[in-house]
Structure 1
Amino acid sequence: MTIPALPLAGSSLRMPLLGFGTWQLRGDAAYQAVRDALEAGYRYLDTATMYGNEAEVGRALRDSGVPRDEVFVTTKLPPERAGKERATIDASLRALGLDAVDLWLIHWPPSRGRSVRVWREFLKARDEGLVRAVGVSNYDSGEIDELFDETGERPAVNQIRFGPSLYDPAIVAAHRERDVVLEGYSPFKTTNLHDPALTRIAAAHGVDPARVVLRWHIQHEIVVIPKSATPERIARNADLDGFVLTPDEMTTINNLGHR
């Protein structure tokens, strides 16, 4: 599997466009799914404090034999942990068994206007080497601009719910203008995989509709993190070489949510 990567502003990091999501995976199921993902060629793992699986993700990474410097790791701070940033990242690093994570995200905007204060703590953690890059999740453009206006630094990444039915070129353009990498979660929950246009495109390339959706993200240079606990599906979702969507096919998929 050849997965392209995007540079992250303000760092020397490159973030793979395809990652493995671990939301709702717990215990042995999380451990085994991450092992299967690494075996299938994924080199980006996405977890979060609130997922309750950082220890399993870290153990799977260690047991896989894949060198740490080949795997991009993201975790996230829950909004209710605002004010406890250092204790939270310390706990995440202990659970993961890592000296640093590649990307730390504010999972949701914290309440009562505390976003900027949390962001300053994120920048401090980055400067101290606990995390290599910092970003946000579930933020809109105005909330991103507030962070920049107050600190002079924008998030490297914004992770939002995304997929063909939610495609909005204005959202994509707003992130590009700000040099913020757009990352999409729940790619299949936001897509009707049985849509006739999607199944027709999939058949033309000899693949399933899920892989068409993932390829669509990659060709838009939008990071995508599918999740599965099934080894066969984990491997199949990573098998994105060998076909490229045409401009007309990309346009058709762009319009799935606007028909």
Structure 2
Amino acid sequence: MKVVDSLIPRQGLRVLVTAGANGIGLAIAQAFHEAGARVHVCDVDEAALAALPEGIAATRADVSREAEVARLFDEAAGLGGLDVVVNNAGIAGPTAGIDEIESEAWRQTIDINLNGQYYVAKRAAGALRESRGVLLNMASVAGRLGFAYRTPYAASKWGVVGLTKSLACELGPAGVRVNAILPGIVRGPRIERVIADRAAQRGIGRDEMEQENLAKVSMRKMVEPSDIAAMALFLASPGGANISGQALSVCANVESL
């Protein structure tokens, strides 16, 4: 195989993407679909699910609820197995000082961002052992850096990195590769909300907050959802065959948060 050919996922991959109807998840689902994969996604946004491109199957499911994850895997069984599972579902969580964060907001962030990944990994492990497949867990640069006023989010994403490295050790002997992708500041509606919330917390303007954030990125720019999708495709390609247990930042080099 030529090196350039090894960078393209093989045709017919069976791919499951959680939170795959919006944002990064949608970009990943579309990229795999365009690369010839059979794709099934879940999301809680019913309008976004209804607007998915033709050919992408879907289930309405909240990954923080184990019973709904079980139903998702039942419905995704139509793929006939799984080669790639993208554990993408997550929320930004609250923006506040630790003494101001409501306990329920903390629990919700951990339930979706970390427990949800556990529920999915638990269901996916058997199928991925059979296919010698790939598990991709979506973390964040907040999973390698401290993040003031965003402690539930950062704690959950550090947990995702620990989950990833542990599962890589556990599933590696069966040929399963497990990696975490750590996006930086990704352009889209979600980061707009985060910037606005943090600006309000700091008592500064939205534009000033954005520029302050970008000043902490050595390339002084946001990344695009398509950049994250490109990394997911590479990790699922033959070229990524010996990459496992890694926390891979796609962030234009975020130096601090």
TM-score by length of 2: 0.36
Q: Using structure 1 for the length normalisation, give the TM-score.
A: 0.36
